[in-house]
Amino acid sequence: MTLPRIIFFDAGNTLFHFHPFIDEMYREVSAAFGCHVSPAALEKGSFEAWADYQKQLAQSQSPEAFRASKEQEIRMWRARAHALHARLPELTCDWDAWADAVYEALGEARRFRLFPDVMETLQEIRAMGIRVGVISNWDPRLESILTGLGFGDIPDVVVVSSLAGWRKPDSRIFEIALDRAGVRPRDAVYVGDLIQDDVVGATSVGSDPCSSINARAEPSMKNTYCPNGKFPLIPLLAYFRHFPSF
């Protein structure tokens, strides 16, 4: 067994998270339009809107369901915003202007924070001679967000769905990332927070998937685990330190 040549990471809720939280962003944008909604209502509505979108996507049987583009990403966020708007009668502000403001806010790096020990963990991975990559379902602004978070010079490869043409869990976005990195699937590991998008997607191309359970408590990346027959549920760095070649 040898060390992987590259570890790919998901972006949102794996490397960084909304700060304070996405419902706070909705509250701020709504207040700018003179619409005041309780934080509890926004939190509940935001969660339900995202869950409904994920459910609809999972139920789609069309191979074209995972096609991606900048326009598609905008439609996705507008659909999510519309679902939230429909759940909250307090949002009496102009729908189109409000949705546009929400989308613009989502491109601001100040809305996000890296998880506490992301930089330390990735620097240690790089010190082990392993390259770092990012594969994310996001719009083209992801790289500017990463740069704004001080992360821009860390990844060797960044593959964004809206530019690659496919969203996770479609195998093609993973294949594009592997091709750009110049590695075989067995030489790559992928870390993400969603079973369907990340674990299923990475497995479909033969890469070793890891799961990273991140939540509002902002747990450490050292709570990331790689399922492996010999070393089950071992924290990420410890997992690689157990490779005989290290």
pLDDT, tens only, 49-82: 878 877 777 776 666 778 899 898 888 888 888 8
Q: Could you say which of 110, 139, 172 is where a domain stops?
A: 110
φ, ψ (nearest 5 deg) of residue 12: -65, 130
Residue 230 confidence (pLDDT): 31
Order of strands across the sheet with 131-136?
157-160, 131-136, 6-9, 188-192, 208-212, 224-226, 234-235
- For residue 231, what pLDDT is reported? 30
Give the torsion sign (CA, 216, 218, 223, 228): positive
Our measurement of the distance from residue 164's CA atom to the centroid of its chain's CA atoms, rounded to an integer in Å, reads 15
Q: What percent of the chain has pLDDT over 70?
A: 81
| pLDDT over 80 (residue 223) | no
Q: Same domain for 131 and 194? A: yes
Q: What residues pair up with 17 in beta bridges, in sequence order?
A: 113
Residues 101 and 152 in one domain: no
Percentage, residues of the chain above pLDDT 90: 31
The arithmetic mean of pLDDT across residues 193-207, rounded, is: 81
- 156, pLDDT greater than 80: yes
Domain check: are 87 and 131 in the same one?
no
pTM to 2 decimal places: 0.83
| Mean pLDDT, range 114-137, rounded to an integer | 88
> For the stretch 198-209, what's the b/e string if a residue is b when 16 or more beta carbons lie within 10 angstroms of its beta carbon?
bbebbbbbebbb
- The answer to whether position 1 is within a domain reads no
Q: Which domain holds residue 148?
A: 6-17+113-241
Same domain, 169 and 188: yes
Of the two residues 202 and 31, the one the predictor is more confident about is: 31
Number of folded domains that form the chain: 2
Instruction: Place 36 in a pLDDT band, splitting at 50, 70 and 90.
Output: confident
The predicted pLDDT at position 123 comes to 86
